[in-house]
Copies of this chain bind each other. A is one copy, B any other.
Amino acid sequence: MIYNKVALIGLGLIASSIFWSAKRGGLVGQVSGYARSAATRDTARRIGLCDVVCDTAADAVADADLVILCVPVGAMGAVAEEIRPFLKPGAVISDVGSVKKAVIEAVQPHIPEGAHFIPAHPLAGTEHSGPESGFAELFDNRWCLLVPVEGSDPAKVAELRAFWEALGANVEEMDAEHHDLVLAVTSHTPHLIAYTMVGVADDLRRVTDSEVIKYSAAGFRDFTRIAASDPTMWRDVFMTNKEATLEILGRFTEELFALQRAIRTGDGDLLFDYFTRTRAIRRGIIDAGQDTDAPNFGRAAGRK
């Protein structure tokens, strides 16, 4: 057993999946949980999420060897400040935020002498959120990125790595700046674009009634899944990974305008070459085991 007691602060999709996965593997003696909302705490108690659900963050972190902050990025600093006086000496504090530079800036000043702050980011999620959306398999064969800060104790980093591997994840380490750029490409900009496309369609829906929904299987529906993600979480991501997101967005619009111009001028060769090049990257993702090769992601069509 790597940790005797783990405290989960915030009880949404990620925290609940950590709990169920830790239970599956028998990884932790006790998991305590806390959520700011009384309704969330009630739901957690009802479904058996966490061994004990506490009414204060202070109670939850008492005696915990590992405290994982599972709140939106914009709330991390305040939570770290709140729990500071109640941390066990030598405790490890980690998080699951999608942005790392801003979280480190917000949390690091509140880490007491002797405690260890090791930021982390599991690259896993679904279109559902809240305490009831978690499941034990969420991290299986997904990546968890550890972002050790200046002076992180290598032995404590190794323990946290072993914990995430036991939850089912593959683990890599990288620095915060690089993390935020890689995620701007693989996650933040795609989400913003998906939200935008769905917003455009939503405007047009008023014109064309429900046709946008009815005929969504032609491509559009794949955008709606990621555009259904938690609004608070994503607002905070864009507020805190501003620089990298704006850089990738700049490149995106540059490319988009080149393709738009090719459409306008009838340059079919440019489009054909572009569409051929992008096909290869899909193959790479399948080969890397990060998606299914089954048609339509293996969705069942359901006969009439």
A300 near B298: Cβ-Cβ < 8 Å: yes
Contacts of A218 in B (CB 8 A): 98, 123, 125, 183, 186-187
Which residues of A approach B to under 8 Å, CB–CB?
74, 98, 123-128, 133, 135, 137-138, 140-143, 145, 168, 170, 178, 181-183, 185-205, 208, 210-229, 231-232, 234-236, 238-239, 242, 245-246, 248-249, 251-253, 255-256, 259-260, 262-264, 266, 268, 271-272, 274-285, 288-292, 295-304
Extra A-B contacts (13), CB below 8 Å, given A189-B200, A198-B281, A249-B260: A137-B301, A170-B304, A183-B215, A187-B215, A195-B278, A197-B252, A202-B281, A203-B251, A214-B288, A222-B223, A222-B225, A239-B266, A242-B264
A182 near B168: Cβ-Cβ < 8 Å: no
Could you list some 12 contacts between A and B, CB below 8 A? A140-B302, A141-B304, A143-B217, A185-B204, A190-B219, A198-B281, A204-B248, A222-B223, A224-B278, A232-B272, A249-B260, A297-B299
Contacts A123-B218, A126-B295, A222-B225 given: A281-B193 contact, CB under 8 Å?
no
Copies in the complex: 2
B263 near A242: Cβ-Cβ < 8 Å: yes
B255 near A200: Cβ-Cβ < 8 Å: yes
Contacts A190-B222, A291-B216 given: A298-B301 contact, CB under 8 Å?
no
Q: Shortest Cβ distance from A105 into chain B, in angstroms?
A: 15
B302 near A299: Cβ-Cβ < 8 Å: no
Contacts A224-B285, A238-B263, A260-B246 given: A291-B253 contact, CB under 8 Å?
no
Contacts of A125 in B (CB 8 A): 218
Measured between alpha carbons, how far is A234 from B270 in the docked complex, in Å? 12
A212 near B186: Cβ-Cβ < 8 Å: yes
Contacts of A239 in B (CB 8 A): 263, 266, 268, 271
Checking B140, B185, B188 against A201 with a beta-carbon cut-off of 8 angstroms, the contacting residue is B185
A195 near B288: Cβ-Cβ < 8 Å: no
Q: Shortest Cβ distance from A75 into chain B, in angstroms?
A: 13
Contacts of A298 in B (CB 8 A): 297-300
Contacts of A285 in B (CB 8 A): 213, 216, 221, 224
The list of the 7 closest CB pairs from A to B, nearest first, reads A126-B295, A187-B218, A231-B275, A228-B282, A198-B278, A297-B297, A140-B301
B281 near A248: Cβ-Cβ < 8 Å: no
A215 near B123: Cβ-Cβ < 8 Å: yes
Contacts A202-B277, A264-B242, A266-B239 given: A303-B210 contact, CB under 8 Å?
no
Contacts of A238 in B (CB 8 A): 262-263, 271
B221 near A200: Cβ-Cβ < 8 Å: no
B199 near A274: Cβ-Cβ < 8 Å: yes
